Amino acid sequence: MERNIIELRNVCKDFNGHRALNDVGFYVRKNEFITLLGPSGCGKTTTLRLIGGFEQVTSGEILFEGTDITSMPPYKRKVNTVFQKYALFPHMNVFDNISFGLKVKKMDKRLIEKKVKEMLSLVNLKGFEKRSINSLSGGQQQRIAIARALINEPEVLLLDEPLGALDLKLRKEMQIELKRMQQKLGITFIFVTHDQEEALTMSDKIIVMKDGKLQQLGTPEDIYNEPKNSFVADFIGESTIIDGIMHEDYLVEFAGRKFKCLDKGFMKKEKVDVVIRPEDIKVVPTREGMLTVTVESVIFKGVHYEMMVRSNKHVFKIHSTEMVHASQEAGIIIGPNDIHIMKKERVADEK
Amino acid sequence: MVGRFLKKIYVSLVYLFLYVPILILIIFSFNDSKSRGTWGGFTLKWYKELFTDSQIMSALYYTIAIAIASTIIATIIGTVAAIGIHQMKIKHKSIVMNLTYIPVLNADIVTGISLMILFIFLKLQLGFMTLLIAHITFNIPYVILSVLPKLKQLDTNLYEAALDLGATPWHALWRVIIPEIMPGIITGGLLAFTLSIDDFVISFFTTGSGVSNLSITIYSMARRGIKPQINALSTIMFFTVLSLLLIVNVRANKNTQGKENVI
């Protein structure tokens, strides 16, 4: 119990009658890197702002190390935030920005100077003290924003899509660097992103959200391999989702054929969503396949080919290093552990 | 080529028309002859007389005292009001903004008379205090209108970032928001100062008890015939207001340039 540093209980948040968060509850353990993942408007940033204290819950509780902080103002919370657009103070130089929090606490000047130096070397910007904010690149501003938050030695660092404005290469570098900082400092990170790859790369735990509701909470592996519903499956990585019927335990019918699978506990003849990852479908010569398909399109993606193949009404997406030319026939094999059966949930099917 | 030439002539004519009267005023402020038609040689004696004229010196004192006091008070009230308006919901904001624009667009004479009636109704003795209150009143909207654009440019997260780093709301306002909008506050203050020095109509109706600023003094002197000192005085006022307006404009340009650079 004591190791839960942040806990949300039945949190709801309304904006002008619109429900932005609906009964969200989860906990974060100390030193965890946890990511709130979802499409825009799913409530992930709202959740972060509630933890930061910038918004007030409509109902529910937020706990910090077991004590209720639901109505505590932001300046009393032991959390710090890295904002999406950095929110650095433009009229101050780098030193004054980073030292802002310590100056508020009236810390000794020489200690502040020493700490700022340490922080700048942590974010690889030694000697930048006197620089003005406007003279820095986006990536450098990003690092200053992180340093400004971390210098206060927060128990929890909140990051609101901090890498959103950076180019791809810089993003990748910062992902690794953030993870390194988090492990080195042993601070709990709560990270918000809509980028599933980023979430999978960095997180210890991922919370997938949609329409203000929590969809799934788990390790990156859990969420990728065992998505709870077709929304999560679709959002995390790519997948083909088709209608199927569960005949009995371990036997599902889709695309006009029965397949062995590993799922059980459904009603007889229950309609289900069948989710298959594109890399789990094997392409073989027509005779050896479980299904015969026609290739509709082929795109070269670098590491693999992406093929859209059709079998009657059903289209499958395949990632394979083997290439079959468009409009040719081929066979496909789908193994029992590559078939994921989800209960039908119409809410998760809008995409 | 001809078109460009014509354009230049046209622009020159416009400015000639605008500035020749002032130029003549300035030239005649250095005229040694009392007559307004003839040039009697260069002199600075009107300026000297100006600064020894007790009536004018007292008017100068009131003008500057009123300008400084009304600028400081209006700038503070206007800045606080702008911050409040900025926080409002859109519907309330548009109502308040219209209420802010009306005094700006209103005819000075209406503002002046209505203030006078109000002061009389409240049984306030017309004089220094009423003049000061009137100047504060008409200056506030200009400060609000100078500060609001700066607030709109502000990153909405800045205030939250300050709170996040442990600053109380008051500290965040003082250390982060005020310094960020300072250019707008200074521009508003300069504008208020200029308008206060410049004002005649509203001052005319709201003062009394022998308190009169420069423009009122010039007006009453002019009724008794234009004395050459008035030329000198007008010249000084012209250059004071001109230089203040130049500062305001240069600052405004700098601000917009800065904004473009950021984008």
Confidence band of B21 (pLDDT split at 50, 70, 90): confident
Q: What is the pLDDT of residue A33?
A: 92
Give A-chain residues touching B167 at CB under 8 angstroms. Answer: 75, 100, 104
- A70 CA to chain B: closest CA distance, Å? 15
Partners of residue B176 in chain A, C-beta under 8 Å: 89
Domains parsed from chain B with CATH numbers: 45-262 (1.10.3720.10)
pLDDT at position B260 is: 41
What average pLDDT does this structure show over A226-247?
Answer: 85
Q: How confident is the model at residue A240 (pLDDT cuts 50, 70, 90)?
A: confident
User: In this predicted model, which residue has the larger pLDDT, A20 or B3?
Assistant: A20
Rounded Cα gap, residues B184 and B186, in angstroms: 5
Identify the weakest region by mean pLDDT among A41-45, B64-68, B111-115, B212-216. B212-216
Percent of chain A having pLDDT more than 90? 19
pLDDT at B255: 58
Contact state of B157 with A105 under an 8 Å Cβ cutoff: no
Mutate: best of B164, B182, B262, B263, partner A, most A CBs <10 A:
B164
Note the ipTM here: 0.78
Q: Using one digit for the tens of pLDDT, what is the confidence trace for A73-124? A: 988 888 999 998 889 998 899 999 999 999 988 888 999 999 999 889 888 8
Side-chain half-sphere exposure of A43, counting CA atoms within 13 A: 25
Distance between B154 CA and the closest CA of chain A, angstroms = 10
Of B161, B179, B261, the CB nearest to A83: B161
- The alpha-carbon gap from B158 to the nearest alpha carbon of chain A, in Å, equals 5
Partners of residue A272 on adjacent β-strands: A244, A343
- Where are the domain boundaries for CATH 2.40.50.140 in chain A? 240-349
Ramachandran angles phi, psi of A113, nearest 5°: -60, -40
For an interface test with B, the pick among A50, A69, A75 (most B C-beta atoms closer than 10 Å) comes out as: A75
pLDDT of residue A219: 92
Of chain B, the percentage scoring pLDDT greater than 70 comes to 94
pLDDT at A205 over 80: yes
Residue B91 in 3-state DSSP? helix
Residue B261's pLDDT is 41
Q: What is the pLDDT of residue A241?
A: 86
Q: Is B180 on the interface with A (CB under 8 A)?
A: yes
CB-CB under 8 Å, B164 with A52 = yes
DSSP code string of A224-240? HHS-SSHHHHHHSS--E
**Once rounded to an integer, what is the mean pLDDT over residues B146-171?**
89
pLDDT digits (tens, 9 = 90+) for A245-279: 888 888 888 888 888 888 888 888 888 888 888 88
Structural domain A4-230, CATH architecture: 3-Layer(aba) Sandwich (3.40)
Q: In what order do the strands lie in the sheet with A251-254?
A: A257-260, A251-254, A240-248, A270-276, A340-343
Mean pLDDT estimate for chain A: 87
**Would you state the structure tokens that stand for residue A266, as one six-digit string?**
């459904």
Question: In this complex, is the C-beta atom of B177 within 8 Å of any C-beta atom belonging to chain A?
Answer: no
* Closest residue of chain A to B169, computed from CA coordinates: A75
How confident is the model at residue B161, as a pLDDT?
Answer: 92
Q: What is the pLDDT of residue B143?
A: 92
Interface test with B, best of A88, A100, A146, A157 (most B CBs within 10 A): A100
Residue B55 CB neighbour total at 10 angstroms: 12
Residue A51's pLDDT is what? 92
The end-to-end CA distance of chain A, in Å, is 38
User: Are A166 and A109 within 8 A, CB to CB?
Assistant: no
A277-332 per-position pLDDT tens digit = 888 888 888 888 888 888 988 998 888 899 999 888 888 899 988 888 888 888 89
Interface membership of B168 toward A (CB under 8 Å): yes
Is the pLDDT at A227 greater than 90? The verdict is: no
pLDDT at position B1:
65
Domain spanning A240-349: which CATH class is it, in words?
Answer: mainly beta
Distance (Å) from the C-alpha of residue A151 to the closest C-alpha of chain B? 10
pLDDT of residue B183: 87
Residue B141 scores a pLDDT above 70: yes
Of B163, B171, B261, the CB nearest to A74: B163
Contact A52 B160 (CB under 8 A): yes
pLDDT band with cut points at 50, 70 and 90 for residue A1: very low
Residue spans in chain A of domains classed CATH 3.40.50.300:
4-230
Each residue's pLDDT tens digit, B60-108: 888 889 999 999 999 999 999 999 888 888 888 888 888 888 888 888 8
> Residue A225: what pLDDT?
84
Exposure letters A72-100 (e unless 16+ CB within 10 A, then b): eebbebebbbbbbbbbbbbbbebbbbbbb
CA atoms within 13 A on the CB side of A301: 15
- Closest residue, chain A, to B161 (C-alpha): A87
Ranked by mean pLDDT, the top range of A198-207, B195-204, B243-252 is A198-207
Give the pLDDT score at B240: 84
In this complex, is the C-beta atom of B83 within 8 Å of any C-beta atom belonging to chain A?
no
What average pLDDT does the segment A153-158 reach?
A: 90
B181–chain A Cβ distance below 8 A for any pair = no
Q: What is the mean pLDDT of residues A128-156?
A: 89
B259 touches chain A (CB under 8 A): no
Chain A residue nearest residue B163, CA to CA: A75
Q: Mutate which of A50, A54, A72 to disrupt the B interface (most B C-beta within 10 Å)?
A: A54
Residue B237 at interface with chain A, using a CB cutoff of 8 Å: no
**CB spacing of B157 vs A83 below 8 angstroms:** yes
Which pLDDT value is given to residue B256?
Answer: 56
